[in-house]
Structure 1
Amino acid sequence: MSSKPESKFVASRQLSEANTEKAGLLTQPKAVWAVFFASIIAFMGLGLVDPILPAIADQLNASHSEVTLLFTSYNAVMAVAMLITGVISTRLGIKWTLLSGIVIIAVFSALGGFSNGIWTLVGLRGGWGLGNALFVATALSAIVSLSNSGTAKAIILYEAAIGLGISVGPLLGGWLGAMSWRGPFLGVATLMIIAFIGLFILMPKSTPQNAVKARTSLLDPFRALKHRSLLVFGIAAALYNFGFFTLLAYAPFVMGLDEHGLGFVFLGWGILLAVTSVFMAPKLSEWFGTIKSMCTMLILFALLLVAMGIWTSTQWVVIAAVILAGALLGNNNTLITTAVMNAAPVERSTASAAYSFLRFIGGAIAPFTAGKLAEIYNPSIPFIVGAGFVLVSVLFIWVNKQHVQHVDDIGLGH
């Protein structure tokens, strides 16, 4: 059963969605498209680095667990930085917060391209995480706030940008990485300069009235977590991200492919992620409900991780599982992001910051843990442990179902 404030909140969000649902997904203001294209380039940065993880280990004489720290430092800084994104964006404004994030990413990725040691690279990836936090959290709230087609369609557009960026990134990363592991880092810096120019020119200085928010404080995300629904989704996402980043950061080490091969595998992964997040997730939510669909996707993802753990030495099984995981993760990302935006009666940017803080903690712990488990035990254990965490996230959502069921009253199928 929903609480009284949540019931009023659901009614308010339903009215808001009803007033905007006539506008099509592609009928957006120029500012939304500016953020959309900048987001594609920003998320290309994540996929660009993935195909070169084994090459970095070889050429910098680093262990697999040390190389996975590139994801750990990145996600750990992102988690903490998410708590200050609202404070910064409500003072600098949406446009300048996005541009600041892009500049920070460009600087730290360029410095990474010129570094000569794994620990220097790990530290610089942390700086990259700070820039990404400013950009990612603000981009989501910007697209949702500036869109004229409602929250559901705006989030689908945002997830499409993520999918496009993540799918194209590995292909470019594999091509650049085949020349040198430094190539993708310098490639990210170049792309960020292009994103900066595009956003600077296309996004207007003035902010529409519906995007103007009161100044927030550092305590707002923690206050938001007092809402049980938001806390449930945040903890569930932290557990689920353990599996997500085990796949992303550790799977490249067991596939036995070169940079080009890894690029093509993660291209397939990203394409499925993009397509399902836009076209399939809304239908699943409409047919079965957001919570039930989310739990189903997570269970299937856990089973894929188990398969990767059982048949780790069978190359085609691991490759097929990684690609298929893209479909499950694309659906789940859209479902859970929309659920978070509709979970509690707080500012969407504050909800995003609180939720992202928790989920990136999971993303920070998982990569290094996966590398260490493989070194201590064997290459199969990280996938089995990751599957266990994903299943725990499903149980956690199901046990707290009464606190989150109200998100189905708003839905995703607009």
Structure 2
Amino acid sequence: MAKEIKKVVLAYSGGLDTSIIIPWLKENYNNCEVIAVSGDVGQGTELDGLEEKAKKTGASKLYVLDLKEEFVQDYVYPTLKAGAVYENKYLLGTSFARPIIAKGIVEIAKREGADAICHGCTGKGNDQVRFELAIKAYAPDMTVIAPWRIWDIKSREEEIEYAESHNIPLKISRETNYSKDKNLWHLSHEGLDLEDPSNEPLYNKPGFLELGVSPEQAPDEPTYISLHFEKGVPTALDGESLSGAEMVAKLNELGGKNGIGLADIIENRLVGMKSRGVYETPGGTILYHAHNKLEELCLDKETYHYKQQVALKFADLVYNGQWYTPLRQALSAFVDNTQETVTGDVKLKLYKGNIIDAGVTSPYSLYDEDIATFDEDEVYNQADSAGFINLFGLPIKVQAKKGLTYDK
């Protein structure tokens, strides 16, 4: 197999895994050419110096694909509109970044005439599935190399030893060796002390949180914001029109400052195990809250409730790497239809980790003050409710007359 692989495109982040994979590929695949590809989905300074580092460790070139706006508009916002949350907490930050990165890598692999695509995902994680399902969707016959499934390295400690022996510079140490994933939407932390669920996350430890502060360290004064949505998509913040990437970045700043969006999760991975991680999603948490508040006002009961069921399945599909599937596409079509009237403005108060509703308006509001009022009105005949209750409760009445009770 080593002789057959002459050119490999590597999904490259410059982190611990992919830093050592470049020399490992050249050692194990007959000095093959390695082309590194990074998908920029908002990693920020993590991309600094990446080209120099990739070439020094043996890559022939590095592509950096600017995917930020496409990431937000075509992956983040459809998931937001669906209201998809995995296991009540996880806003899918890593999950929906993988399909767009993998798609970009396939495009480069085809352009370069590569024999294989390589990724640095471990055999224990979800990302290996997400990357490879996306590769199958766009290059079904492409060979995939996953070093973690075939090499002799067994731990991040051994990875560091390999890097040191090959003079590969690293930005981490053994003491700060959290496994992290960062993009425009979120930052995840796994490993080290977090592997013991009995340990409290070190939110107040300098350097642990990167997108914001703990609620205790947030300002004593609240921050008010106003978000405008058009058909379920956030388009303006405090009256200023923003692109998707600008919107998320600005809300990350505001939310992070106020201690918003911290989640300590023990989740069920696709591969069968439970894992523990801490997620920072300040802007995303604000957007989910605001979007749901607007839907409360604009969606009828049956649509709102059924959409909550769809959201569970949508979250599973995204988490499991099944973005490029007929079902995900069909569910998105349903969601888009429900969003036709989800237009309006949501005012929120951010305070020490809390998001407090401060008012919502919409031209499509289904709330009728004349009907809902506790004061005297001329539009609702309260006597009508007696007939409704009689019919609604008829099955219970019949069962009771037959001597059937359900009090246990």
Structure having greater relative contact order (Cα 8 Å, sep ≥ 6) = 1
What is the TM-score of this pair, normalised by structure 1?
0.27
More helix by share: 1
- Larger-Rg structure: 2
What is the TM-score of this pair, normalised by structure 2?
0.28
More strand by share: 2
